[in-house]
Amino acid sequence: MTWKRNSILVASAVLFLASISAAQGGSQPAGQDPAGQRAAMQQQQRVQALQQQIDELKTQQDSLIAQLQGIHATAVKEKATETAGKVEKLIAAQQETFRTRVAQLKQQQQRMAEATRQRAERPERAARRGRRAPDVELKSFDGRTYKLSDLEGRIVVLEWFNMECPFSLYHYATKPTMVQLANKYKDKEVVWLAVNSTNHTKPEANLAFIKEHKLPFPIIDDRSGQIGRAFGARTTPHMFVIDRDGVIVYQGAIDNAPMGKVEANVANVNHVDQALSQLLAGQPVSTTTTPPYGCSVKYPSP
């Protein structure tokens, strides 16, 4: 086998590797609006779909590694040292990518299974805690898409946001409340999403704001107002904390100090921080509702 032929084999392996990697990075199955027994069945179907995806990845992985090992054996036999070294690196890189992707899928699968189990064990308790969050699709200004039901098993914070509102801007420009809280809980299975329902806002302005203030979370594009109206968001900021079962356990103001001003002889309380810490400690949320303050949400005309 000539050096030219070895190079062609390596190139083919790289192209095949790229196709497998693309398959491994595919999107997860999306579910429908969960409700009662139907929700449990749909969640179980998503768990099974993830298992099928894991099995398919393993089959593809075995096939790819077998082909690469064949190329490597031929290169070693023909003393094509450089080619053999390249193939060894491809095998190691692919195996690491495969292990990482499978671990991610299994973790996601476990979260879904746990959410299903908890929902089955605590249906009445969940109903008493509050209303279930509407299962909306959330598209961010930077091109990502989320479905609220796919985040079950994690805690979700929705923050209604308007960079033109001084009450909202205060928590970024004057005091980085939102960024600090999101960073505090980002490694504790808490997903933070800002939602901009301002009808005239521009994508460029939101992307620039994310960069300027180093937001560790995306801003959701709700210029239609559909998401805000589904939740009943009234002001910026208006906060919603959703527990692992998809139930709204807190809604209202971020704190009791609009623009940093708290009433005399009253301690400053961050309601969202308090709700998150209680949820993570396995405790019931002590304050479930407060009056939201700020600017009115600038929805489009009906």
* Total domains in the fold of the chain: 2
Q: What is the pLDDT along the chain (302 residues), one digit of tens a residue?
A: 444 455 555 555 555 555 555 445 444 444 444 555 666 666 677 777 888 888 888 888 888 888 888 888 888 888 888 888 888 888 888 888 888 888 888 877 777 776 666 555 554 444 445 789 999 999 999 999 989 989 989 999 999 999 999 999 999 999 999 999 999 999 999 999 999 999 999 999 999 999 999 999 999 999 999 999 999 999 999 999 999 999 999 999 999 999 999 887 888 999 999 999 999 999 999 999 999 999 999 999 98
The answer to whether position 268 is within a domain reads yes
State residue 89's pLDDT score.
86
State residue 127's pLDDT score.
47
The domain boundary, picked from 95, 121, 147, lies at: 121
For residue 22, what are its two tokens? 């693309």
The answer to whether position 245 is within a domain reads yes
Residues 143 and 254 in one domain: yes
From the list 229, 37, 235, 30, the residue with the least C-alpha distance to 134 is: 229
Rounded to whole angstroms, how far apart are CA atoms 223 and 207?
A: 15
> What does the angle CA 134 – CA 108 – CA 56 come to, to the nearest 5 degrees?
120
Residues 240 and 161 in one domain: yes
Residues 39 and 109 in one domain: yes
Residues 153 and 292 in one domain: yes
Report CA-CA distances (Å) from 54 to 15, 29, 106, 164, 167: 21, 12, 8, 45, 46
Range of the domain at 89: 3-121
The answer to whether position 187 is within a domain reads yes
Rounded to whole angstroms, how far apart are CA atoms 142 and 204?
A: 10
